[in-house]
Amino acid sequence: MSTAQQHQTEDTLAQINKRTGRNMPQAIATSVILIAVIVACLLISIDAFIVLIIAFMSLALWELRVDFATVGLHIPVVLLWICSTVTLLATYYAHWHLVTAALCIMISLVLVVLFATLKLNFGTRVSMAVANKVANTDAKARLESSFNHDRAEHFHSRFSHVAVSVFTVLYIPLLASCIVISLTFNNHPVAHAITLVFLPALSDTGGLLAGAWLGRHKLSPRISPKKSVEGLIGSMLFAMAGAFAVFAVTYSDRWSTLWWVPILTGILVGVVGTFGDLCASMLKRDIGIKDMGHLLEGHGGVIDRVDSILLTAPFLTALLWVTGM
């Protein structure tokens, strides 16, 4: 390749990265690795997939711990790790899955409320992670935050720490338990896992591509300037195509009566998933950070990748159960 062609390739790649808002080569490589890990776990056993969910949720809880700490808010992350692990395992292995999940979440809420105001630090990991995140955050984003970053620690009541801790329980273990519940009925755990994990990811890809190349009408300029109406339509179409593929492989004998399910699934995933992305963007903007974390090259944090998966989980689980799929 000549020097001129190399420069042209680099310029094209830079334009793509700018339009998508991420490093695309890194993002693609990370996506391939994640897909391989998820598929490997599903091929090994559903138990391995449950362990993978627990691992991802534990990383997401750590990211939230650091993100909230940048504005002086504390969540009992060790307790949340324990509660989340127990909740997800008990939900899957107990006989009454839904009842067990509800009971575990209620107990988690009580324990988290009791421990939320105790500022227990184990070493300097949180302080170092907070300092690194603040150093890598745009100063403008910090100034636009709802918090006073210089003296945030002095302005939070105990109720504030309790409130963000309760939010964390409802956001991570509660929504993640919906993914686990979907694996327990109608004898299609792999199909359900693919539906709940890969369709939102496929929807995100469709929204990214459609928004980057066709996006003209902003969906919510204040919360997420890169989101567009065209991107939302692309999200729904990609999710719909994925739903038809899963349906054709798993439920090929039920086309005559349930042909509308993949269509509804695509619309549901596209709309709710985009709403989940907007909620995460609003949270990041309110805190004054760009990414929830930096664990996934090209993608930001774990929460940046699983926000749409978590928010669509209860809706998709309910849809699969109601339709008997």
Residue 71 lies in a domain: yes
pLDDT at position 5: 47
Interior angle at CA 29, CA 28 and CA 30, nearest 5? 90
Is residue 19 assigned to a domain?
A: no
Supply the angle between the helices 46-69 and 189-214 in degrees, to the nearest 10: 50
pLDDT digits (tens, 9 = 90+) for 74-108: 899 999 999 999 999 999 999 899 999 999 999 99
Q: Distance (Å, rounded) from C-alpha 135 to C-alpha 121? A: 21
Domain-located, residue 35? yes
Tell me if 58 is assigned to some domain: yes
Give 3-state DSSP helix, strand, coil % of the chain, rounded to 5: 75, 5, 20
Quote the longest CA-to-CA distance of the chain.
Answer: 65
Mean pLDDT of 253-259: 79
Q: Which residue type sits at 103?
A: L
> Which pLDDT score, from 0 to 100, does residue 153 have?
47
How many domains, the chain? 1
Q: Is residue 190 part of a domain?
A: yes
Q: What pLDDT, in 10s, does the model give residues 186-218? A: 888 999 999 999 999 888 888 888 877 776 778
Enclosing domain of residue 173 = 29-322
Residue 122 located in a structural domain:
yes
Residue 122 has pLDDT above 90, yes or no: no
Give the pLDDT band (50/70/90) at residue 298.
very low
Convert 133-146 to b/e letters by CB count within 10 Å (16 or more is b).
beeebeeeebeebe
Inside any domain, residue 120: yes
The reply to whether 174 falls in a domain is: yes
Dihedral-angle region of residue 137 (phi above 0 means left; psi in -120 to 50 means alpha; beta otherwise): beta
